Structure 1
Amino acid sequence: MTTTRKSSSVAKAFELIQVIADGGPDGVGLQDLAARAQVAVSTAHRYVTSLLDLGVVERDGAGVYRLGVGLVRLAGQYLEEDVLLRVAHPYLVELAGVSGETAHLGVPIGDHIVYVDKVESDQSVRLVSRIGSEVPLHCTSMGKALLSLMPPDERAARLAGDLARPTPKTLFGDSLAAELERVREQGYALDDEENELGVRCIGLPIVNASGEPVAAFSVSAPASRFTADACHDLAPTALRIAHEIGAALGYAGATRRNAG
């Protein structure tokens, strides 16, 4: 019974959102909203109060409701991620082909990176990973690449609390801060067995049209085969790819940096 009531509530909330969306720029008043959704005015008021708090809808001084920026932001995030996957995948194929190793694409969720795409290495011995799995920000190449471009307050929030130390090589404190500054300057990060012993990676950030770091990609392999020198040798190609993905997402600065 509880699940049914919750489902009905969600369905009714979306019905109200649709009515408001249909109102377009003119918006919808509370009485009209209740009539179109076929609910009591008190019920409509209760729902839209919650939607207002969430930023899904907005109300002007005349009491007219319109779609809010919160809903637009969510839609934009969905569309951006969809575009990101379509744009980035061919580059993952290129990276895997050039390096002979596994290429990943990830997005930040809280203090972790979640894999959203990958292209496997053709090597007989390769890393085990799956789309949907997550790894920490602070000790992975993709995570450090993203952290290096985040505003200081956001970075601090992502690094708050006791950081996991998966290996003896995991950086933290002043060492991690210095590493992130180095990553910011050179444009790419290495995970030198910091998340998993025997695994080395190079990772780069991807920025959106506003220049915000929204994703990252990496090339990962057994450390015995993928040396630090090999990572640095791959860096120019990876930097070019990061710039091209950023440009495809609308970031003009990526093109300017690449030209320079």
Structure 2
Amino acid sequence: MAGNTSRPGVSVTSRVLAILAAFDERHRRLTLSELARRADLPIPTAHRLANELVAGGALTRRPQGDYVVGRLLWDVGLLAPVEADLRRVAEPILHDVHATTRATVHLAVRDGDHVLYLERMRGRASVPVMSTIGSTLPMHSTGVGKVLLAHAPPDVRERVAARLTRVTPYTVTQPPILAEQLERVRRDGYATTSEEMTLGAASLAVPVVRDDEVVVAAIGVVVASLRRDRARLLAALQVAARGISRQLSER
């Protein structure tokens, strides 16, 4: 939540940023009163600024009257150098993975303590998928998230482990078990999940490593089951990750 932005003397920019920061993974839709409370603003001020943000495309007001993040913020976010280069380089390679596997294919990066999806190519409609381009999900319950969490700084891993939420009955919520899984990810070079984010879906993901050995992203697939095709899917992802890494290094 923002600081004391209801106090006199705080700039308009700070108040606008407070409104935008009021949205997070658990607060994707906010009524005016909720928005004002989370931004620590008087309701009239929040109403005026929110309406200006709606007019500019940064927020959208739904028919029910509540507010959601607008398309403008996502479009601007894509101009960040890392994300823009990643998507530009990865897109044709991910299309090849999608054509080969017919699975849902993801490109994701770490955004604080969450995983941010930069690209999604939808596979078989029968496999349920929670992600959308621009959305964030918990790292501990997704394949790409576990890859990114395994290579995140220790303080990030500690924060995530301290608040493991149960998404499905199969989500890992015990820190020691998660720590063992992350160690295995670092050792084996890939992560898997089975119905931890969505019932009826399994995922497999690998890191995208820059030439300085820094993990900058993860790519993964979501399928109904990994029992039969794990080796084939893993090989396709590893080839794709090497291709993305090579092109990033050349740039």
TM range (shorter): 0.5 to 0.7
Give the whole-Å Cα distance in 1 for the aligned partners of 2:239 and 2:187: 15
Give the whole-Å Cα distance in 1 for the aligned partners of 2:143 and 2:227: 12
Give the whole-Å Cα distance in 2 for the aligned partners of 1:132 and 1:113: 10
Instruction: Specify the alignment match of 1:189 in structure 2.
Output: 191
Instruction: Specify the alignment match of 2:217 in structure 1.
Output: 215
Residue ranges of structure 1 left out of the alignment (5+ in a row): 11-76, 252-260
Deviation at 1:161, TM superposition (A): 2.5
Query: Contact conserved, 1:105 with 1:118, CA < 8 A, in 2?
Result: yes
Deviation at 1:214, TM superposition (A): 2.2
Instruction: Specify the alignment match of 2:144 in structure 1.
Output: 142
Give the whole-Å Cα distance in 2 for the aligned partners of 1:82 and 1:215: 12
Deviating beyond 4 angstroms after TM superposition, the runs of 4 or more aligned structure 1 residues are none
Instruction: Specify the alignment match of 2:169 in structure 1.
Output: 168
Count residues in correspondence.
179
TM-score by length of 2: 0.63
Instruction: Specify the alignment match of 1:102 in structure 2.
Output: 104
Instruction: Specify the alignment match of 2:12 in structure 1.
Output: 6
Give the whole-Å Cα distance in 2 for the aligned partners of 1:125 and 1:82: 31
Structure having the larger proportion of residues in helix:
1
Deviation at 1:82, TM superposition (A): 1.0
Q: Which one has a bigger Cα radius of gyration?
A: 1
SS at 1:229 equivalent: coil
Bigger Cα displacement from structure 2, 211-220 vs 86-95 = 211-220
Give the whole-Å Cα distance in 2 for the aligned partners of 1:6 and 1:245: 41
Give the whole-Å Cα distance in 2 for the aligned partners of 1:193 and 1:126: 11
SS at 2:198 equivalent: coil
Instruction: Specify the alignment match of 2:207 in structure 1.
Output: 205
SS at 1:214 equivalent: strand
Instruction: Specify the alignment match of 1:20 in structure 2.
Output: none
% identical equivalent positions: 36
Superposition RMSD in Å: 2.8
1:192 partner amino acid: S
Instruction: Specify the alignment match of 1:228 in structure 2.
Output: 227
Give the whole-Å Cα distance in 1 for the aligned partners of 2:177 and 2:13: 49
Mapped pair 1:92 → 2:94: yes
CA separation of 1:135 and 1:7: change in aligned 2, threshold 3 A: closer
Deviation at 1:155, TM superposition (A): 2.4
Give the whole-Å Cα distance in 2 for the aligned partners of 1:228 and 1:183: 18
